[in-house]
Each structure stands twice: as structure tokens, then as C-alpha cells.
């Protein structure tokens, strides 16, 4: 099929946006590469500590007036942003595909879910309301108001370059805070596009800032005394060793979302035909690069005929996934983001084989890539059998298009396997039995639970939950919990003498 | 070609509707007495395209099976719009009915396949199917 037009043209440099001005970074300028062609499509600066400091100062200066702007007025900026995002829906989706490699359906899905967060934040006059109780004692009333805190840092990952910062930013600014967003330097153009639209929406200078970069920017955010809190989505080691302790040392609020190694449980009574597309999306969608992707499939029961038939169908479907450039509308799986990530995935497959797993489908080399593209970042879907619960390919995050299959005798055993995982982000079960579904929901430790859903992605009005190795903090991004995170509860007690 | 993703399937359907719309515009020129009917059909086709595109953009999500929503063979639904110069109004209506049948088959199977996956898209397919009933009656009357 013909390719949809690429929106990023002419190797642009992604600039920082500080205090309402677009400024080129003074730091090292690095290439941004399209993982499909492995050609440079743009450049981005690795900003310095002075630049993050400058952005925080601008945000701090803007906070005074912004918090005094009535919530209903703040929302109108978000309504305008929402309209602009709709008008630019296709372009922002194609930017994601071009810089990240995901398929166009996946990018449009990401765009939609990002916009939904802006829409939910538009309800801030209601969401931000406090509580009041008359006569807590005779003649004394007590009420709670929610106040913004100041400047928040938002650190985004590479795998959802458009959507994930929108789990936080709309709620932060709607509640009267100001933000500094740091996108992943691998994929800086999606956030650059959103920031252009935020500028067009008319946010006052300093309310919405963006600084590109890497560790220096993250370190600068963590150390900065004027940043009141940070939301982070990325790897578990960075979450545990850098973000959470860094926030603790400086007394910042923190939402830290890390990695995952999700387990999908298949009961023999599941609707097989309806389950398989869900598994394809779960394990191989976004080339497996998402914290809600399935990594291990646990098939319950000792019915060999069911097991063999189910695995054969899954394998057949996975073998025929169309691989190529996501701007070709027929493509079902794009490349992984870069060579290092591909090598890491290949390494995990080797580890699995050394530990006793066997290849049912070998995707270490993509069978066929649609279009004339180098194999550099492409992988096929890999399925491994004879996997056991103690293997590293079950217990560690692979973040690639792989499926390891375990057999469990009972649902109890399957739940045990889920619960002994170091990660608890999005485990799921496929079954037509309500009792089994309820037991799974009740007993399985997981921030998000799927019942016949392979990607357990909460809608914008629910928190994006997560537990144990997948999350550190108390409140979560999205919805009412985000509103709580971005506001301080102030309690007033009145007595008129 | 085997259509699997939501994006390629909806692009394909959009092309079918547009091709049929141009066919009706051509008929409107050739049969001025029935110009209003044919132009209305062309307008409706484009309205359906917008309606379905809006439904798709509203419902598409990274968490649903958009890349695995369909399994349609495009060859089963493609059609030619050539009509000989000597064709009568009845010939044209017969040809239009054949085209409509292809489009309706595509919507019908597409709605069935994507029923549990894309929510509003198959619902809109069904709405388009229902709305076309009157057109079919009109074309049958002309054939």
C-alpha cells in the first residue's frame, strides 16, 4: 500500500519552550532517528542544568497569576487545546508513527487517549471542588479547599510520546499549577507538536514549558527546590533508584510508574476466536513496548488437545502479522525503537532458550518486512514454550514482541504465578466463567486487572494504577487521583464570635 | 488484498464510497431527469464517509484490537463504473444496484467482524446499511 505522508520534513531541530519562547538548547545536539529507515529525521538538544533552571524559574513566576485565574477560565485554555488537538488529530498521529515506529492505528489510538485526558481535565471546576460540613460543633463550620502547589515536572517515556505526558499536564495546569515537561529525547517531536498547540491555545507564558534532554534535565528537576512534585513514567530501575529517592530527599510529591512483565491467564472456557486478536494486540501491539503488554501466557488445565489447538491458533496468527512501516496502513507491527532495545530483546530470547524454553515461533529475524527497509530495528513475533515461572523471561521485563507460554494445572496456580512476579501492572484473564473472573480480580495482585481485555489501559477518568515493582507513590496519574496529586488539601474551621 | 487493520479497511471503504459517488455524479449528467436522485446519492456517500471517519477517530484507542479488527478480501468488493454510451436509465440503475450490493456486502461483513472490537464503527456500518434501503428501492424502481 502507498505510505501516508510523513509530517516531519527537512530535519528540524526540536527546541525548548520556556516562558512562551522557542529557544534552541545550548547543550549537545543529537540526532532523532526514524526506527524504520534508521535515517535522521530531526535533531534535539540535550539541555543543560541552566536551561532547566530557567524553565522552572519561568514556571514559578507564572504560577502567581495562573493560580489566581478562575478554574473555569483555566479550563477554557484546555477547551481550546482540545479543539486544536482534534483539528490536528491526523498530523500528531503521523508524527508519533514517524518518530516512534508504531502503526498508524496505534498512533491514532494514542492520540485519542491523550485527548481524553484533556477532556477530563476540562471538568476541573467540578473535579476540584472541596467539601464542607456545617456545625462540626455548635456554631462552627469546617470545609476543605484544594489549592495548587506550584511547579510540577513531568518526565515522559519513549513508548507513548504523545499520550503519557497528557496523563499529568492537563490536570496540573487545570488545577492552577504550572508545568515543565521533559519528553524522551528519542521521540521529541510529539510533545513539540502538543506544545505548539498549547502556545496556539494561548496559555500565558511560563504556564506550559518544555525542556528536551536526558539525565541532566531529570537531575535538575529532582534537585530544584521550586519543583513541588514530579510525575515519571519509565523503567523500574530509574523509578526505584533515581526518581523516588530523589523526590524523597527534596520532599517532592511523586508519581513514579515503572516497568512490567504482565501475565495473561487463559482458561479453557474462554471464547478462543475472540481472545486471539486480544492476545495479538497485548503481546505484539506497539512491538511489545508498553507497560501493559502481555509477556507471559499462562494456559490453565491439563487438556492437551485444548492447549495444542490454542497455541497453534495463536502461533498461526502471530506468524502472519504484517511487519513494516506504520505509515503503511496495512502494517500490524512496526519496529522496536532502536538497535539497543532490539539487542536487549534478542538477549532475553537467548536467556530463555538457555534456561530451557523452546521456540514455537522464531521472530529473531523478521520473516518479511513490507517495503524496502533495513532490518535494523525490526523483529518478528516470538513465541516460546516450555517456559517456567522462575525463568528470567517471566520475572524480568523484556519490552518486546515476545510471548512465553506456561502451563498451570489450576486457576489457583495461575494466580500464584501472577502474584510472585516482581511486577504488578496489568495482569489479565480470558474466561467465560464469572466465578473464575471474580476470583482472579479478587486474588490477583495487579494495579489494573483485565477480564477478557488484553491491554488493561484505564480510561482518563480512572487512575492509571500499578502496584509493587511497577509503581511507587500513593496517588496515580489521570482522573480524580491526578487532581488530588496536583492540589493540597487545606482545611478551614470557622467560628464567628 | 486481505484487509486487516482498521485504518486500511476504512480507507478502502472510503474509496468505494467515493468511486460510487463519482459514478452517481456521472449518471446525474447523463440522465438530467433523474439528476436530483443521483446527486443526492453522491452527497449521501460522502456524508457516510465523514460519519464513519468520525466514529473511527472517536473510538480508536491504543488498547483495542485496531490492527486485527478485520479480515476482508478487497477483491470481493471492488467494482467497475464503466457504462456504455448507449446505456439506458434502466441499465444505469441495474449497474448502480450491482455496485450497491458490493458496498453493502462489505459493510455487512465488516460490521460482523469488528462487532466486539470497535464499538461505534460497526454501529455506524449498520446505520449506513439501514439508510441505504430507500436508495435501493429507488434504484429498483428505475431498473
Question: What is the extent of the structural domain holding A162?
Answer: 13-258+470-495
Q: Which residues lie below 8 Å from residue A397, measured CB to CB, with a gap of 6+?
A: A235, A236, A259, A260, A261, A295, A423
Interchain pair A329, B64: CB under 8 A: no
Pair A301, A406 in one domain: yes
Q: How confident is the model at residue A320 (pLDDT cuts 50, 70, 90)?
A: very high
Q: Which of B8, B56, B61 sits opposite A330 (nearest CB)?
A: B8
Q: Are residues A168 and A215 in the same domain?
A: yes
State whether A48 and A149 are in the same domain: yes
pTM: 0.96
C-alpha closest to that of B34 among B99, B101, B91: B91
Judge if A251 and A274 occupy the same domain.
Answer: no
What pLDDT score was predicted for residue B61?
83
**Both A309 and A424 in a single domain?**
yes
Confidence band of B31 (pLDDT split at 50, 70, 90): very high
Contact state of B68 with A281 under an 8 Å Cβ cutoff: yes
At B63 the pLDDT is: 72
What is the per-residue pLDDT across A13-46, written as a single tens digit (0 to 9) for each? 999 999 999 999 999 999 999 999 999 999 999 9
Inform me whether the pLDDT recorded for A361 exceeds 90: yes
Tell me the three state secondary structure of residue A10. coil
Cβ proximity of A81 and A197 under 8 Å: yes
pLDDT mean across residues, chain A = 97
Residues B61-113 have pLDDT tens digits of 877 788 999 999 999 999 999 999 999 999 999 999 999 999 999 999 999 99
Per-residue model confidence (pLDDT) at position B134: 92
> pLDDT tens across A331-358, in order?
999 999 999 999 999 999 999 999 999 9
Exposure letters A445-480 (e unless 16+ CB within 10 A, then b): ebbbbbebbbbbbbebeebbbbebbbbbbebbbbbb
Tell me if A59 sits within 8 A of A178, measured CB to CB.
Answer: yes
Q: Which residue of B has its CA nearest to A2?
A: B8
Counting residues of chain A whose pLDDT is more than 70, the rounded percentage is: 100
Q: Is the pLDDT of residue A330 over 80?
A: yes
Q: Which of B12, B65, B69 to mutate to test binding with chain A, by most A CBs within 10 Å of its CB?
A: B65
Question: A431 and A297 share a domain?
Answer: yes
Average pLDDT over residues B10-24: 98
Does residue A464 sit within a domain? no
Q: Per the domain annotation, does A70 fall within a domain? A: yes
| Co-location of A294 and A388 in the same domain | yes
Output the average pLDDT for chain B: 94
From B140's Cα to the closest Cα of chain A, the distance in A is: 36
Tell me which residue of A288, A323, A235, A320 sits closest to A403, measured CA to CA.
A288
Q: Are residues A408 and A444 in the same domain?
A: yes
Q: Which residues pair with A145 in a beta bridge?
A: A490
Whether residue A339 is contained in a domain is answered as yes
- Distance from the Cα of B19 to chain A's closest Cα (Å) equals 18
Q: Number of residue pairs across A and B with CB atoms under 8 Å? A: 85
- Residues A423, A476, single domain; the answer is no
Shortest distance between the Cα of A58 and any Cα of chain B, in A, equals: 34
pLDDT of res. A433: 98
Q: How far is B65 from chain A (nearest CA, A)?
A: 6
Give domain status of residue A41, yes or no: yes
> What's the confidence (pLDDT) of residue B73?
97
CA distance B20 to chain A (A): 21
The verdict on a CB contact (< 8 Å) between A163 and B62 is yes
Q: Which residues in chain B are contacts of A110 at CB distance < 8 A?
A: 62
Q: In B, what residues contact A, Cβ < 8 A?
A: 1, 3-8, 11, 56-69, 116-117
Tell me what the mean pLDDT of segment A140-157 comes to. Answer: 98
Residue A44 resides in a domain: yes
Q: What is the pLDDT of residue A20?
A: 98
The single residue listed with the C-alpha cell 499529568 is: A168
CB contact under 8 A, A110 and B62: yes
pLDDT at A304 over 80: yes
Residues in chain A within 8 Å Cβ distance of B114? none
Which chain A residues contact residue B6 at CB under 8 A? 105
Query: Is residue A270 annotated as a catalytic residue, yes or no?
Result: no
User: For residue B4, which residues of chain A lie inside 8 Å, CB to CB?
Assistant: 322, 330, 332
Q: Cell triple for residue B81?
A: 463504473
User: Which one from A103, A122, A270, A291 is the annotated catalytic residue?
Assistant: A291
Domain of A367, CATH number, reads: 3.40.309.10
The sign of the dihedral angle between the CA atoms of A18, A175, A152, A57 is: positive
Contact (CB<8Å) B60/A331: no
> Which of A89, A104, A105 is the best mutation test for B, with the most CBs of B within 10 A?
A105
The set of cell numbers assigned to A488 is 493540597
What mean pLDDT is predicted for residues A59-64?
98
The more confident residue out of A429 and B66 is A429
> Can you tell me the mean pLDDT for A204-213?
98
- The total of structural domains in chain A comes to 2
Q: Which residues contact A409 (CB under 8 A, 6 or more apart)?
A: A300, A301, A302
Given a cut of 80, whether residue B138 has pLDDT beyond it is: yes
d(CA A66, CA A444) in angstroms, rounded, equals 43
Rounded CA gap, A279 and A285, in Å? 9
Do A163 and A98 sit in the same domain of this protein? Answer: yes
Q: Are residues A310 and A422 in the same domain?
A: yes
Task: Measure Cα distances from A73 to A86, A116, B115, B138 in Å.
Answer: 20, 19, 41, 53
Nearest of A170, A190, A188 to residue A178 by alpha carbon: A170
Neighbours of A194 (CB within 10 A): 28
Q: Give yes or no: residues A126 and A274 share one domain.
A: no
Please give the average per-residue pLDDT across A306-327, as a whole number: 98
Q: In terms of CA atoms, which chain A residue is nearest residue B4? A: A330
What is the CA A115 to chain-centroid distance, rounded? 14
A2 lies in some domain: no
pLDDT tens-place string over residues A87-114:
999 999 999 999 999 999 999 999 999 9
Amino acid at each position: 500500500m502507498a505510505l501516508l505522508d510523513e509530517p516531519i520534513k527537512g530535519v528540524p531541530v526540536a527546541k525548548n519552550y520556556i516562558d512562551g519562547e522557542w529557544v534552541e538548547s545550548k547543550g549537545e545536539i543529537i540526532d532523532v532517528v526514524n526506527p524504520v529507515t534508521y535515517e535522521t529525521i530531526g535533531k534535539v538538544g540535550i539541555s543543560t542544568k541552566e536551561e532547566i533552571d530557567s524553565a522552572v524559574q519561568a514556571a514559578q513566576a507564572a504560577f502567581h497569576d495562573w493560580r489566581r485565574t478562575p478554574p473555569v477560565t483555566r479550563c477554557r485554555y484546555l477547551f481550546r487545546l482540545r479543539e486544536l488537538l482534534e483539528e490536528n488529530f491526523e498530523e500528531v498521529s503521523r508524527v508519533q508513527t514517524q518518530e516512534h515506529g508504531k502503526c498508524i492505528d496505534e498512533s491514532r489510538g494514542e492520540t485519542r487517549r491523550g485527548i481524553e485526558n484533556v477532556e477530563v481535565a476540562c471538568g476541573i471546576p467540578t473535579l476540584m471542588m472541596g467539601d464542607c460540613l456545617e456545625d462540626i460543633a455548635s456554631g462552627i463550620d469546617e470545609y476543605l479547599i484544594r489549592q495548587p502547589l506550584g511547579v510540577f515536572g513531568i518526565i515522559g517515556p519513549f513508548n507513548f510520546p504523545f499520550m503519557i505526558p497528557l496523563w499529568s499536564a492537563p490536570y496540573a495546569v487545570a488545577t492552577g499549577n504550572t508545568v515543565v515537561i521533559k519528553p524522551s529525547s528519542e521521540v521529541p517531536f510529539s510533545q513539540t507538536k502538543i506544545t505548539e498547540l498549547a502556545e496556539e491555545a494561548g496559555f500565558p507564558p511560563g504556564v506550559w514549558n518544555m525542556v528536551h534532554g536526558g539525565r541532566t534535565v531529570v537531575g535538575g528537576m529532582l534537585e530544584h527546590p521550586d519543583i513541588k512534585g514530579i510525575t515519571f513514567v519509565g523503567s523500574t530501575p530509574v523509578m526505584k533508584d533515581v526518581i523516588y529517592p530523589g523526590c524523597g530527599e527534596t520532599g517532592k510529591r511523586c508519581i513514579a510508574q515503572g516497568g512490567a512483565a504482565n501475565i495473561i491467564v487463559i482458561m479453557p472456557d474462554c471464547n478462543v476466536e475472540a481472545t486471539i486478536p486480544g492476545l495479538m494486540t497485548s503481546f505484539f501491539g506497539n512491538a511489545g513496548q508498553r507497560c501493559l503488554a502481555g509477556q507471559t501466557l499462562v494456559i490453565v488445565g491439563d487438556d492437551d488437545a485444548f492447549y495444542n489447538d490454542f497455541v497453534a491458533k495463536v502461533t498461526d496468527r502471530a506468524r502472519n502479522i504484517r511487519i513494516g512501516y506504520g505509515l503503511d496502513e496495512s502494517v500490524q507491527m512496526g519496529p522496536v525503537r532502536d538497535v539497543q532495545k532490539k539487542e536487549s530483546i534478542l538477549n532475553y530470547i537467548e536467556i530463555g532458550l538457555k534456561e530451557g524454553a523452546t521456540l514455537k515461533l522464531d521472530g529473531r529475524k523478521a520473516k518479511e518486512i513490507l517495503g524496502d527497509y533495513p532490518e535494523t530495528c525490526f523483529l518478528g513475533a516470538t513465541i516460546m514454550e516450555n517456559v517456567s515461572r522462575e525463568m528470567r523471561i517471566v520475572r524480568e521485563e523484556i519490552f518486546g514482541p515476545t510471548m512465553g507460554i506456561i502451563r498451570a494445572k489450576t486457576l489457583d496456580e495461575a494466580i500464584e504465578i501472577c502474584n510472585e512476579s516482581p511486577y504488578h501492572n496489568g495482569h489479565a484473564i480470558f474466561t467465560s466463567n464469572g466465578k473464575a473472573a471474580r476470583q482472579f480480580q479478587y486474588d490477583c495482585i495487579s494495579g489494573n486487572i483485565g477480564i477478557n481485555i488484553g491491554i488493561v489501559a484505564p480510561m482518563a477518568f480512572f487512575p492509571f494504577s500499578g502496584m509493587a515493582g511497577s509503581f511507587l507513590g500513593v496517588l496515580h496519574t489521570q482522573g480524580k487521583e491526578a487532581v488530588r496529586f496536583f492540589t493540597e488539601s487545606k482545611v478551614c474551621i470557622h467560628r464567628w464570635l | 488484498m486481505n484487509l486487516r487493520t482498521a485504518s486500511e479497511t476504512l480507507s478502502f471503504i472510503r474509496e468505494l464510497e467515493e468511486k460510487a459517488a463519482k459514478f452517481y455524479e456521472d449518471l446525474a449528467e447523463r440522465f438530467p431527469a433523474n439528476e436530483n436522485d443521483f446527486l443526492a446519492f453522491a452527497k449521501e456517500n460522502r456524508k457516510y464517509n465523514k460519519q464513519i471517519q468520525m466514529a473511527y477517530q472517536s473510538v480508536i484507542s491504543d488498547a483495542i484490537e485496531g490492527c486485527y479488527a478485520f479480515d476482508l478480501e478487497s477483491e470481493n468488493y471492488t467494482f467497475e463504473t464503466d457504462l456504455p454510451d448507449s446505456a439506458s436509465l434502466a441499465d444505469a440503475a441495474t449497474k448502480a444496484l450491482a455496485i450497491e450490493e458490493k458496498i453493502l456486502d462489505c459493510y455487512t461483513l465488516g460490521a460482523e467482524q469488528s462487532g466486539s472490537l470497535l464499538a461505534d464503527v460497526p454501529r455506524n456500518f449498520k446505520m449506513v446499511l439501514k439508510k441505504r434501503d430507500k436508495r435501493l428501492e429507488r434504484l429498483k424502481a428505475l431498473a
